Every structure is written in C-alpha cells, then in structure tokens.
Amino acid sequence: MRNFTSLELAFIGDAIHTAFVRKWALLNHDKPINELHKICSKFCSAVLQSSVLDTLELTDEEKEIARKARNAKIKHQAKNSGTAEYKKATAFEAIIGYLFLSQNYERLNYLLQKSIVNGGTDAI
C-alpha cells in the first residue's frame, strides 16, 4: 500500500463509513428514504463520529493515524460542529480509511459496528 496522507485516508474512510451506515439503516429500519437519510446523517455527522472516537480502544498504529489526521491542515469546517469535533471526526474517518486500504477487514468491521453501537439510539 502506498503512503496516503491523513486527509486521503479520511476521504476514503468517509465513503466507507457512510456506505456501512446506509446499509445498516436500510437493513434495520423499515422507513421511507427521507427518514433513512435523516438517520444516516446523524450517524455520519462530525459530532457523532467525534464521540465514537472517544469510546474506541485503538491500537498504537491507529492512535498514530488519528494523531496525524487531527493535526492535518483542514481547509474547511463542518457546518454543525466545532473545530475540535471536526478534527476528531477526520481522525475517525482516517482510521476507517486506513483499515479499508490495508484490507484489515476484521478490525474495520469491528470499528464500524462499534460506531453504530456507540452512536446509540439518540441518533435515531
């Protein structure tokens, strides 16, 4: 695997997390698409991703990826979160992207499942 920047890892991690959440919502909620979108938007928000990151037990390698992603020069801000939350959400997405690109699917699935469980029912 080539060396990707933290923001490149977050870029793919965002897509992987979003696809996972959408699949989960579709399989677990018999609701119209607009309601599914609202559920997914909450689970994929910077606020929720930031709080999920706080609950995860990360490996040393994942901690290093998160640290680099939090310190990356981000050129924009999420509209519904503060800078600290946005940077932590970027760190979460970078970890997801790293695990996906390194094909560590067991760990990836574990963290994605935790993002749903730790996101709680408040998001629904």
- Beta carbons within 8 Å of 97's beta carbon, 6+ residues apart: 4, 8, 9, 10, 11, 12, 13, 14, 16
Whether 122 is catalytic is no
The catalytic position among 14, 30, 54, 122 is 14
**CA separation for the pair 81, 84 (Å, rounded):** 8
Q: Among all residues, which ones are annotated catalytic?
A: 14
